[in-house]
Chains A and B, each alone.
Chain A
């Protein structure tokens, strides 16, 4: 953690009061998108995108924190620490220079 002084200016009660309608609207957008998919012709059961959306929605409903970061990582290509060797990119060799 970078900063010990995490700033909480609003209480949870204030945040829910301020943001309930916004969050409600976003859930409805998502619900309507799923209905639209449901009504449409064609089969996307094996769609990678659909799987990602449903895994993302599971993150929203689980009891863990850090949801935004976890959704981001879910939707990300993986990082491989050995990429420099694998790609054979010239390695900097300037230690001590």
Chain B
């Protein structure tokens, strides 16, 4: 089955992974900018990263017939460095016209600090100014609930934000309802250990329905599985869900969401 992975950090993956993804039916990927595993020292480091995301990575994906889209920002972990964050935010517009850029992301919170919130709000200003879609990272584990509620407060406190152009990622059982009820899109991230499994993601689809809901693997340099979406598809098939419902979640929904920014062309 053809599918789209709306959150996958391919800069951390090998070309063999692209081949495997293509064989499993992946036709498009969206790659938010994130933390490299270490704090970068200067704005130039981000400029090179954004060149990789907007130039090199789409070419690598295209060799396997996969369309590559991206989102730009400085992630919440590095947002603790407010000075560097402001330099990066000022530089991002250089890349917004690149043909695979869908918007600003993954912005959000990590440890739910004041500096993270400040830089989150400055990213919202950037997105509004350039009419960009937004992809949001919610914190993990014990910080998720508090951080998600704080993020929603900031988004809903800003009347300029069009909620149907915002995707809130890494939702779990205790945060999904707040996100969907307030008109945002929600993404469930499948992890091999410690966080959301394909089984629990399917439970959430059964419980809340497919409206504005999608799933991703968030594969990166840490323990993660870039082929987690095929696992979700398998679990839905096993439980007897229809092809239409599966396709809605893993293909139509990301396509509909992306299309608010750039027409979806794959291959």
Chain A residues packing against B (C-beta within 8 Å): 2-3, 5-10, 18, 68-69, 72-73, 75-81, 83-84, 87-92, 94-97
Chain B residues packing against A (C-beta within 8 Å): 112, 114, 117-118, 121, 124, 141-146, 149-150, 153-154, 157-160, 172-174, 177, 180-181, 200, 203, 205-209, 211, 238-241, 245
CB atoms of A73 and B145 under 8 A apart: yes
Report the minimum CB–CB distance from A82 to chain B (whole Å). 10
Closest to A84 in B: B153
Give which listed residue, B142, B158, B173, B239, contacts A69 with CB less than 8 A: B173
Report the minimum CB–CB distance from A30 to chain B (whole Å). 15
**Which chain A residues border B141 with CB–CB below 8 Å?**
75
Q: How far is the CA of A81 from the CA of B208 in the complex (A)?
A: 25
Closest to A72 in B: B174
**Which chain A residues border B172 with CB–CB below 8 Å?**
72
Give which listed residue, B145, B205, B211, contacts A79 with CB less than 8 A: B145
CB atoms of A77 and B181 under 8 A apart: no
CB atoms of B159 and A90 under 8 A apart: no
CB atoms of B174 and A76 under 8 A apart: yes
Q: How far is the CA of A97 from the CA of B157 in the complex (A)?
A: 13
**Which chain B residues border A6 with CB–CB below 8 Å?**
206-207, 209
Closest to B148 in A: A79
Give which listed residue, B143, B153, B159, B241, contacts A7 with CB less than 8 A: B241
**Which chain B residues border A18 with CB–CB below 8 Å?**
238
Task: Give me the 9 closest cross-chain CB pairs, A-B, nearest first.
Answer: A3-B209, A72-B174, A76-B145, A79-B149, A69-B173, A9-B240, A68-B173, A92-B158, A79-B146
Report the minimum CB–CB distance from A33 to chain B (whole Å). 15
Q: How far is the CA of A80 from the CA of B145 in the complex (A)?
A: 11
Report the minimum CB–CB distance from A84 to chain B (whole Å). 7
Give which listed residue, A7, A75, A94, contacts B158 with CB less than 8 A: A94
Known pairs A2-B211, A7-B205, A87-B117 / 4 extra A-B pairs, C-beta < 8 Å: A3-B207, A73-B174, A77-B145, A83-B150
**Which chain A residues border B238 with CB–CB below 8 Å?**
18
**Which chain A residues border B200 with CB–CB below 8 Å?**
68
Given contacts A3-B209, A90-B121, A97-B159, contact A78 B239 (CB under 8 A): no
**Which chain B residues border A76 with CB–CB below 8 Å?**
142-146, 174
Q: How far is the CA of A3 from the CA of B154 in the complex (A)?
A: 25
**Which chain A residues border B180 with CB–CB below 8 Å?**
2
Interface-central residue, A77, A80, A84, A91, by most chain B CB under 10 Å: A77
16 contacts between A and B (CB under 8 A): A3-B207, A3-B209, A6-B207, A68-B200, A72-B174, A76-B145, A78-B146, A79-B145, A79-B149, A80-B146, A84-B153, A84-B157, A87-B117, A89-B121, A94-B158, A95-B159
